[in-house]
Amino acid sequence: MERIETDVVVIGAGAAGLTAATELKAAGKRVVVLEARDRVGGRLWNGDFDGHLLEIGGQWVSPDQDALIETLAELGLETYSRYREGENVYIAEDGERRLFEGEIFPVPAKTEGEILGLIEKLDALVAEIDPEAPWAHPRAKELDEISFAEWLGTQTDDEEAKLNIGMFIAGAMLTKPTHAFSALQALLMAASAGSFSHLVDADFILDQRVVGGLQQVPLRLAERLGDDVVKLEQPVRTIRWSPEDPAAGVTVVTDSLEVAAERVILALAPILYSRISYDPPLPRRQHQLHQHLSMGFVIKVHAVYETPFWREQGLSGTAFSPYELCHEAYDNTNHGDTRGTLVGFVSDEEADGVFSLSAEERQAKILESLSHYYGEQAKNPVLYYESDWGSEEWTRGAYAASFDMGGLARYGADLREPVGPISFACSDMAGKGYQHVDGAIRMGRLAAANILQG
Ligand code: FDA
């Protein structure tokens, strides 16, 4: 077993881990990054399909994500706008296809009024929430004890309004059904993006993409750190340290490496912490709190066509329906590409449902759903791919982790608290930028800053 000595070990070469390593190295620390996979990036992954780029994981950048925007500028990465010219599509409960412009779906006037009223109420509540400490809200416990589905039920009896407002947080963000997370968790999701209105505004939340794909952020960070710092195919198995002698530091063990350091940063999804053995075991509080987090689950569907045919029909490619298998879909054509790409999302229970089918049946059902938005041509892509993060051993879901009912108020404040020499950093514990690359960068910076402060 090779033995290395360093100042800080970072476990995980995603955006959080590589940011932390970059900050520490810039401050003069020796750093080693241990990554389980044979690539860097974690949930950022540029897929190459016969020369065609598909962004299998995260891709969009919104204007409030200043930590990510700063990183993009620093790495010299260019962005471009999502295509959004023309009309959007909404499909009603009876299957009627309605075209619309702006953010508010073409629903009956009463439903529209209910939707606008809910957005206003949620914006007001979100304004009271500090995304860095949602548990500090005076009604945090109460809001964490009621599911978002129940909360919506206390506000309106309009089913279509509930489904649409639910979709912005459930299918589109936490990728869990509205009965599976609390109203407080929903408010955190919205507060992390600045307001609930921002989540409703696709032009804001899904604004820009990076030329060449967002995985270039971790790829470039890793390149700058160098191969002697970033070590691939090194799943960490054990972390040892001595509570009686904290100055003795920490030893991090993989199958072929033993790294001795003063501090370690766990920069992986919190649901994976229990894959590592700790000697001594983590404290009772961490044993408990990590069990109250779970990953959402969504299939990101990519369908590439010879041309972006929907544009010729005057469509933007933006499409929504709480009644469709693909609850949202967008024009995802790459920068400068003559082909057209659509991206659609199948979330939580719908994803469970289609994964019980054969691959052929699943593809047919998903393309059928896309055809409801864009017409029959959508059924014949030249390239089709489903991002399946649920089967990725080192992620186990998408997009990210959130607390179960009551978990955020009960445990949230302890999620980032270091244990001895062990610090934690991941998008899944961010306030601003929660569940996004921006949050991962923020948490990487924070963990590094805390270590540097001593
Ligand atoms: P991440 O999970 O990326 O990195 C953790 C790393 O730790 C991984 O590389 C993993 O292999 C490694 N690891 C785990 N266990 C280990 C062990 N025992 N030993 C060593 N290494 C270990 N965000 C956004 O901003 N815009 C978007 O459009 C989207 N869209 C989106 C779509 C899809 C399909 C997904 C899956 C995700 C998104 N996201 C997103 C979310 C975004 O991708 C995500 O929040 C961040 O990339 C997470 O970065 P982290 O570094 O925190 O974790």
CATH number of the CATH domain containing 31: 3.50.50.60
123 and 189 in a single domain? The answer is: yes
**CATH code of the domain in which 129 resides:** 1.10.405.10
Domain that holds residue 308: 46-62+78-84+205-209+297-391
H or E element: which one contains 326? none
Residue 434 lies in a domain: yes
Residue whose C-alpha is closest to residue 182's, from 142, 216, 212 = 142
Of all atoms in ligand 1, which is nearest to the CA of residue 235?
19
Where does residue 281 rank: exposed (0-12), middle (13-18), buried (19+ CB within 10 A)?
Answer: exposed
Ligand 1 atom 47, closest CA: 43
CATH number of the domain residue 337 falls in: 3.90.660.10
35 annotated to bind ligand: yes
Angle, alpha carbons 227-229-232 (nearest 5°)? 65
* Cα 44 to middle of ligand 1, angstroms: 6
Of ligand 1's listed atoms, the one at least distance from the Cα of 426 is 52
280 cis-preceded (ω within 30 degrees of 0):
yes
Cis amide leading into 399 (omega within 30)? yes
| 328-333 long-range contacts, CB within 8 A, separation 24+ | 328/167, 328/171, 328/172, 328/202, 329/370, 329/373, 329/374, 330/82, 330/202, 330/206, 331/82, 331/83, 331/84, 332/55, 332/59, 332/82, 332/302, 333/83, 333/308
Residues 176 and 112 in one domain: yes
User: Low-confidence residues of the chain, pLDDT below 50?
Assistant: none
DSSP letter at 334 equals: P
Is 348 in the same domain as 304? Answer: yes
Angstrom distances, CA of residue 199 to CA of 12, 186, 206, 371:
29, 11, 9, 25
Q: Is residue 254 situated within a structural domain?
A: yes
Give a yes or no: residue 428 inside a domain.
Answer: yes
Tell me the residue type at 336: G
* Measured distance CA(376)–CA(81) in Å, rounded: 27
Ligand 1 mean position, distance from CA 4 (Å): 26
ipTM exceeding 0.90? Answer: yes
Residue 322: both structure tokens together: 């709480």
Distance 146 CA to ligand 1 centre (A): 29
Contacts within 8 Å (CB) and 24+ apart, 174-177: 174/296, 174/402, 174/435, 175/296, 175/297, 175/298, 175/347, 175/348, 175/397, 175/398, 175/399, 176/294, 176/296, 176/297, 176/348, 176/402, 177/149, 177/348, 177/349
- Provide the domain count of the chain: 3
237, amino acid identity: R
Q: Is 435 domain-assigned? A: yes
Residue at 100 is within a domain: no
Q: Is residue 112, in this structure, part of any structural domain at all?
A: yes
Query: Can you tell me the distance from the alpha carbon of 155 to that of 125, in angstroms, rounded to the nearest whole number?
Result: 13
Atom index in ligand 1 nearest the CA of residue 65 equals 25
Residues in the ligand 1 pocket, defined by CB under 6 Å: 11-17, 34-37, 42-44, 57-60, 235-236, 267-269, 272, 275-276, 300, 387, 389, 394-395, 398-400, 426-427, 435-438, 440
Same-domain pairing of 128 and 180: yes
Question: Does the annotation place 447 within a ligand binding site?
Answer: no
- Ligand 1, from 210, 427, 435, 441: best to mutate by most atoms within 8 Å of Cβ? 427
Q: Looking at the structure, do residues 195 and 243 belong to the same domain, yes or no?
A: no
413 CA from centroid of ligand 1 (Å): 22
- Residue of the nearest CA to atom 52 in ligand 1? 426
**Atom from ligand 1 closest to the CA of residue 275:** 18
User: How many other CB atoms sit within 10 Å of the CB of residue 253?
Assistant: 19
* CA angle, residues 275, 25, 441, in degrees to nearest 5: 60
CA 268 – ligand 1 centroid, Å: 8
| Residue 88, C-beta contacts closer than 8 angstroms, at least 6 positions apart | 99, 100, 101, 315, 316, 318, 319, 320
Do 192 and 273 belong to one domain?
Answer: no
Handedness of CA 404, 121, 129, 203 (dihedral sign): positive
Residue 357 CA to its chain's centroid (Å)? 26
Ligand 1: residue whose CA is nearest its atom 29:
58
Atom nearest to 427 CA in ligand 1: 52
Decide which of 177, 200, 223 is a domain's last residue: 200
176 and 239, same domain (yes or no): no
Cα–ligand 1 centroid distance for 51 (angstroms) = 24
Return the residue whose CA atom lies nearest to atom 23 of ligand 1. 436
| Secondary structure of residue 351 in the 3-state scheme | helix
Q: What is the pLDDT of residue 73?
A: 98
Are residue 115 and residue 182 in the same domain, yes or no? yes
Q: Are 241 and 9 in contact (CB under 8 A)?
A: no
Same structural domain, 262 and 249: yes
- How far, CA to CA in Å, does 17 sit from each of 57, 238, 313, 358, 417? 17, 18, 44, 37, 17
What is the β-pairing status of strands 298-305 and 340-347?
antiparallel
36 is in an annotated binding site: yes
The token duo for 157 is 């009896």
Query: How far does residue 12's CA lie from ligand 1's centre (Å)?
Result: 9
| pLDDT given for residue 366 in this prediction | 98
Q: Output the CA 314–ligand 1 centroid distance in Å.
A: 35
Residue 410 in any domain: the answer is no
Judge whether 445 and 437 are in contact, CB under 8 Å.
no
Domain C-terminal end among 200, 230, 263: 200
What's the pLDDT tens digit per position in 9-54?
Answer: 999 999 999 999 999 999 999 999 999 999 999 999 999 999 999 9
Distance 41 CA to ligand 1 centre (A): 7
Same domain membership, residue 315 and residue 272: no
Does some domain include residue 405? no
End position of a domain, from candidates 149, 169, 200:
200
Mutational pocket test of ligand 1: of 10, 40, 402, 437, the residue with most ligand atoms within 8 Å of the beta carbon: 437
Quick one: 325 and 361 in the same domain?
Answer: yes
Same domain? For 446 and 387 the reply is no
How many residues are there in the chain?
A: 454
